[in-house]
Amino acid sequence: MTRQRVTVLGATGSIGTSTLDVIARHPERYDVFALSAGTQKEALLALCETHRPAVAVLSRSEDAHWLAGELRRAGLATEARYGEEALCDIAADAQVDVVMAAIVGGAGLMPALAGVRAGKRMLLANKEALVMSGALFMAEVARSGATLLPIDSEHNAIYQCLPPTHRDGLDAHGVHQLLLTASGGPFREWSREALGSVTVEQACAHPNWSMGRKISVDSATLMNKGLELIEACWLFNASVDQVQVVIHPQSVIHSMVAYKDGSVLAQLGNPDMRTPIAYGLAWPERIDAGVKPLDLFDVARLDFQAPDADRFPCLALASQAMREGGTAPAILNAANEVAVAAFLDKRLSFTGIGELVARVLEQGHVCPASELEAIAEADRRSRALATELLSGSFS
């Protein structure tokens, strides 16, 4: 068996940690080539000591300098580098077979795109890459011949329930609709009035999944599901009307595909990201992910309900942005990142997140997303506008 060399972008986050756990279970199949960790220099050092990658990348030069010294003291040959160029290099390196793209937010776009352009097997956990530049990203996948495997549990589930040639178009394969499940987050039963008093601690305590703070807040506002709706449209060549969000509190059915003949195919499993990660690493084979088998008798029941757009407007805002097209999804994403950061800093209320995003979408200038420069400019302008609005009427 030929060993696969893996780069993990965002190695200290929840997806990166789970990826390294699956890799460690199969030392005969995988080697870690490179790891990145933003500003988490101590955590990255610990991972280097365990996994001994060839390269380790941090965001800042001073952190990389510190890491280089610590690596030398530990007798490790790992090279310490920094910055976006280094991230792109470890994604596109000729020695790399598989790239786990798990950097959160817009910062993950360029490294993911570099891996795609180099024709790698891309395990995409960074939804913003498609939200911001879906048309460009998918065009590069087609041009380079890269293998794109979605790692978000919902998109991975849909991928497993579709035929291999789904990119030909859903209608060609008799697909009626993609059913994108959502837990509904910790506040699905709360009134709109009660949502105004949500604390950071409450929003970061997801009932089913272990995730980072930003994505936990996105799950609580349903913006995460809105971003996933946009991602699903690009991944599966679907229109907004072909994607239906379904609230499913148990998070056991990860998503479904409804066919025109009345059949509905679903992928089920315990809520553990190691399952889709193992699927992506081993595809088209299956390997042990370290996940406990699903006990249907323990689950006992499966519930479903429609999302409430009045209490959770972020989902509708995402649909609006996808329908509008161009740079509208990039504007949505940028505004949301600023809004969530402000909420986590306790400078914005929970309900203010959707209000701020709506204002930025309303006032932002949408243009064709035909060039990366246009997308980057839309991102920059939207962040500036959101920051300006925050310093004014929002509190």
Q: Which parts are annotated binding residues?
A: 12-15, 38, 126-128, 152-154, 183, 206, 212, 219, 224-225, 228
Pull the structure tokens for residue 28. 């005969």
Pull the structure tokens for residue 212. 């980072």
Three-state SS at 34: strand
Rounded Cα–Cα distance for residues 212 and 8 (Å): 17
By the 8 A CB rule, do 257 and 161 touch? Answer: yes
List the binding residues for Mn(2+): 152, 154, 228
List the binding residues for 1-deoxy-D-xylulose 5-phosphate: 127, 153-154, 183, 206, 219, 224-225, 228
Does a cis peptide bond (omega within 30 degrees of 0) precede residue 276?
A: no
Nearest in space to 195 (alpha carbons), one of 349, 315, 33, 390: 349
Three-state SS at 201: helix
Pull the structure tokens for residue 105. 């937010």
Rounded Cα–Cα distance for residues 305 and 177 (Å): 17
List the binding residues for NADPH: 12-15, 38, 126, 128, 212
Rounded Cα–Cα distance for residues 308 and 288 (Å): 38
Amino acid at 83: G
